């Protein structure tokens, strides 16, 4: 039955930002900053033209040494203990996120590589904790009963023996906040094994389950691949203009353009293995690229796991190396998409993440030999109303 109240709920908004840059040292810095600001990477997707078999180096980077750990019943206070801070937070990059909970309904927790702990709590748990926090932002809900607490373990006052540190430890112990976590750790010293964090927690009586990344590969055939323009069409002074695409057949086609949002839609259809053949519906014709060139195959790869920033930087480097090893006519460009967790408390650095009204949280790179096209997709910072506003009539 049609519910007339449904129309009163606003559609969740997304913010899609598009940029393009020539490859240079400044671009490398931008990419590194982007990757480091995206902490909870749960899926990596690749599109590689004319590649029946994924190169072994890229395959190894997706699957080898990408273990992460599921820790059962871990108290949040463990992250604040002196030994843990000295061994793991100060000497490496740690990412941890609570699992088996939903951000809009349950108590949640996470720890960022910089050592900031975030808690999302209902009113009762927040009052029992006793640490000052704030009402959860970017959501309009009645009653307002969700709170966010931040604990900065790297802050100047968070030193063992100080009143602030001792009070925080006591509050966390008394509240007894327990979660199952996914945790990964990258030590600054390459001679130290990343599994040290699992050994440390196991010796303290916590159950540890080692998890492996999983991969799914699909071979797509008879693909119409968008063709990138030559270097002379790039406006280096305006890095946020649209992507210009062309074939090399004639001047009329070279003048055609494709909207960046349409290209992103096309990339999404390939990750979903949607058939965009010649006999298609009017709906599918919307995402058919124009202009394009026909290629025999396109490798689509989807990996699920819990990837660190360093692992993703390595995948980007190997992808560029593979691109340069192939002829430009066979592999003109490739595409890499990184998805964040929809239940992360924060994303894009320390920005609050909305509560499943819209979980968009990913970035896509279209990597060419001398240029990169970059999409970042995030939830809008506008408040999301989760209740129907009552009428005064």
SS (H, E, C) 10-54: CCCCEEEEEEEEECCHHHHHHHHHHHHCCCCEEEEEEEEECCCCC
Indicate the pLDDT class of residue 252, thresholds 50, 70 and 90. Answer: very low
Is the per-residue pLDDT at 240 higher than 70?
no
Q: What is the pLDDT of residue 391?
A: 45
Residue in the structure block whose two tokens are 């029946």: 52
**Cβ within 8 Å of residue 249, ≥6 positions away:** none
Residue in the structure block whose two tokens are 């699957």: 63
According to DSSP H, which parts of 238-355 are helical?
251-254, 260-271, 309-325
Q: Indicate the pTM of the whole model.
A: 0.84
User: What is the token pair recorded at 266?
Assistant: 């096309």
Q: Rounded to an integer, what is the distance from CA 373 to the centroid of its chain?
A: 17
Is the per-residue pLDDT at 248 higher than 60?
no
Q: In 3-state terms, what secondary structure has residue 251?
A: helix
Higher pLDDT, 357 or 164: 164
% of residues, the chain, pLDDT over 90: 54
Q: What is the pLDDT of residue 393?
A: 42
Task: Look at residues 323, 335, 324, 320 and name the one whose alpha carbon lies nearest to residue 365.
Answer: 335
Q: What is the pLDDT of residue 243?
A: 37
Q: What is the CA radius of gyration of the chain?
A: 23
* Mean pLDDT value of segment 30-58: 94
Is the per-residue pLDDT at 362 higher than 80?
yes
Indicate the length of the chain as a whole number: 393
Q: What is the pLDDT of residue 358?
A: 62
């Amino acid at each position: 039955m049609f519910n007339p109240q449904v129309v009163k709920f606003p559609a969740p908004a997304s913010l899609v930002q598009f940029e393009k840059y020539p490859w240079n040292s400044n671009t490398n810095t931008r990419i590194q900053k982007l990757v480091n600001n995206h902490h909870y990477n749960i899926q990596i997707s690749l599109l590689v033209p004319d590649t029946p078999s994924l190169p072994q180096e890229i395959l190894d980077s997706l699957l080898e040494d990408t273990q992460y750990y599921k820790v059962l019943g871990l108290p949040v206070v463990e992250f604040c203990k002196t030994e843990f801070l000295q061994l793991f937070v100060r000497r490496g990059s740690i990412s941890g996120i609570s699992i088996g909970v939903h951000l809009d309904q349950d108590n949640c927790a996470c720890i960022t590589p910089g050592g900031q702990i975030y808690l999302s709590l209902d009113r009762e748990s927040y009052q029992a904790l006793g640490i000052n926090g704030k009402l959860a932002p970017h959501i309009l809900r009645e009653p307002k009963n969700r709170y966010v607490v931040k604990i900065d373990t790297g802050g100047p006052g968070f030193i063992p023996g100080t009143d602030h540190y001792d009070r925080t430890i006591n509050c966390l112990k008394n509240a007894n906040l327990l979660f199952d976590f996914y945790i990964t750790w990258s030590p600054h010293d390459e001679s130290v094994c990343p599994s040290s964090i699992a050994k440390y927690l196991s010796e303290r009586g916590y159950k540890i389950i080692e998890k492996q990344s999983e991969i799914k590969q699909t071979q797509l055939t008879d693909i119409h691949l968008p063709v990138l323009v030559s270097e002379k069409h790039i406006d280096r002074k305006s890095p946020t203009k649209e992507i210009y695409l062309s074939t090399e057949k004639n001047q009329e086609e070279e003048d055609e353009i494709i909207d960046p949002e349409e290209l992103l839609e096309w990339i999404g259809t390939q990750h979903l293995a949607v058939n965009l053949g010649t006999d298609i519906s009017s709906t599918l014709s919307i995402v058919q690229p124009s202009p394009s060139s026909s290629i025999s195959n396109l490798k689509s790869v989807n990996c699920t796991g819990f990837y660190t920033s360093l692992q993703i930087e390595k995948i980007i480097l190997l992808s560029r190396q593979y691109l340069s090893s192939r002829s430009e006519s066979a592999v003109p460009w490739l595409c890499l998409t990184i998805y964040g967790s929809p239940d992360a408390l924060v994303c894009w650095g320390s920005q609050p993440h909305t509560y499943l009204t819209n979980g968009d949280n990913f970035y896509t790179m279209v990597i060419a030999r001398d240029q990169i096209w970059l999409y970042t997709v995030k939830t809008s910072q506008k408040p999301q109303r989760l209740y129907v506003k009552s009428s005064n009539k």
